Amino acid sequence: MNLKDYLRKLTSSILAAPHDRRSPLATNDSLQHIRSKSLSANEMLVPRHSTTALMCEPIFTGNSGTAKWYRDGIEVANVTSSSNAVLLNRSYHSEQPVPDVGFLIITNISMGDQGEYWCRRDDTGQISESVRLVIAYVDQFPSDSRPVFRPARPSLGQRVTADCPPTRAIPSPTVTWILNGEALDRSSRRVSVASNGTLVISRFSVQDIGLYECVVSNFAGRTSAKIFLDAKRLMDGRFEEIIDTSMFTKTCQNLFQNGVLWFLIGCLATSCVVLIYLICAMLFLRPGNRNRITLRPALFLRAHPSLAPGFRKVIAPTPDLYTGGRRPPQQQQNTQQLL
């Protein structure tokens, strides 16, 4: 690997170096590699309070010479092909040394360090590639800030929304909600988080009571705020509950509509049966029909036993009524012969 490739590889990473021990931000004990995100070919996104190094390229690629570093057109440092410079002569200490080849080292990066950087060689006037430094950060919530729930004390069954306290961050942060120390369960449709980070609980229940923590974070940092959410209670200590009548109303409407539909279907079926009955009556009871058929089922089958096989019976004639208990002479004679 030649020197140019080595320098490219070295400057592609962002270093989080310890700051001056007198600084309140000096909390690290050693260098740590911090993630960086390149916004474009000449833009670099670096976390606030971190350390980075910019290379004077392609001016110093093995040739000796001197150059000056500029930020937004203002001279900020002098370097050579064998020495580096620290911006504004800030304190810099690193267990991972940076090669002395004309780097501009920026420590404890702040918002004031944001801008466009480039270097120019003194003897030839050659200008290097420019790099625009963009600071990534997340502003901390004030110590007294809390997530905002609407309503502040919901009733059971009520719809609840919540938002984190306002803050500024670059790049756009992600919002995470934590309930009682665990990530909020979003498997059910009852709980959801909108694209802007708003927490939505469609029907508040007892299991939603607890300590909520709102976390706003990106790769440059995080901040959080907490609040305890309780349900509204009645005088006797029981929870106040709001019944969602919309679902009940819809159910009743559906049942009513279905009932009316089936009633109309029943009326139509009954009308068809009656119509068929009347048509049959008109056909079977036409004038001049010798064998007039009755529409009463029992008499109809009795008159036409062939229509009901298996139920055919011999029907005995009805005995005559006699006055005085006497029978006609012919019937008496027949009876004596039988005896």
Task: Specify the higher pLDDT residue, 111 or 258.
Answer: 111
Let me know whether 33 and 119 are in one domain: yes
pLDDT in tens, 231-243: 987 655 566 665 5
Q: Residue 147: its pLDDT value, please?
A: 97
In a domain? residue 181: yes
Domain, as residue range, for 121: 3-137
Question: Which of 223-232, 300-309, 315-324 has the highest mean predicted lDDT (pLDDT)?
Answer: 223-232
**10 and 49 share one domain:** yes
Pair (132, 201) in one structural domain: no
Same domain, 116 and 41: yes
- The CA distance from 292 to 288, in Å, is 9
| CA 64 vs CA 79, 98, 100, 124: distances in Å | 11, 18, 12, 12
84 pLDDT higher than 70? yes
Chain segment 30-55, per-residue pLDDT in tens: 223 323 333 445 899 999 999 999 98
177-232: per-residue pLDDT in tens? 999 999 988 787 899 999 999 999 999 999 999 999 999 999 999 999 999 999 98
Average pLDDT over residues 63-84: 91
On whether both 190 and 211 belong to a single domain, the answer is: yes
Contact 96, 31 (CB under 8 A): yes
With beta carbons less than 8 A apart as the criterion, state whether 68 and 118 touch. Answer: no
